[in-house]
Amino acid sequence: MSAKKTPDIVIGRLPLYLRVLNQLWEEGRTTTNSQELGERLGLSAAQIRKDLSHFGGFGKYGAGYEVAYLREQLRRILHLNRVWPVVLVGAGNLGRALADYPGFRENGFEIVAVFDNDPQKIGLALAGLTVQDVAWLEAVIIEKGIQIAILAVPARVAQAVADRLIAAGIRAILNYTPARLKTPPDVRVQDIDPVARLQHMAYYLE
Partner DNA sequence: TAGATTGTTAATCGATTAACAATC
Count Cα neighbours of 123 within 13 Å in the Cβ-side half-sphere: 3
Let me know if 134 is exposed, middle or buried by CB neighbors in 10 A (0-12, 13-18, 19+): buried
Cα–Cα distance measured from residue 111 to residue 127, given in angstroms and rounded to the nearest whole number: 9
6 Cβ partners below 8 Å, 6+ apart? 54, 55
63 binds DNA (CB under 7 A): yes
7 binds DNA (CB under 7 A): yes
- The correct pick among 29, 64, 138, 168 for binding DNA (CB under 7 A) is 64
Instruction: Tell me if 126 sits within 8 A of 99, measured CB to CB.
Output: yes
Residues between 90 and 109 that touch DNA (CB under 7 A): none
- The correct pick among 19, 25, 29, 35 for binding DNA (CB under 7 A) is 35
Site string for a copy of itself, 134-163 (x = CB under 8 A): -------------xx-x-------------
Q: Which amino acid would we find at residue 82?
A: R
Site string for a copy of itself, 40-59 (x = CB under 8 A): xxx-----------------
Let me know if 74 is exposed, middle or buried by CB neighbors in 10 A (0-12, 13-18, 19+): buried
Residues that bind a copy of itself (CB under 8 A): 11-12, 14-16, 18-20, 40-42, 77-80, 84, 86, 93-94, 96-98, 100-101, 103-104, 107-109, 147-148, 150, 171-172, 174, 178, 180, 188, 190, 192-206
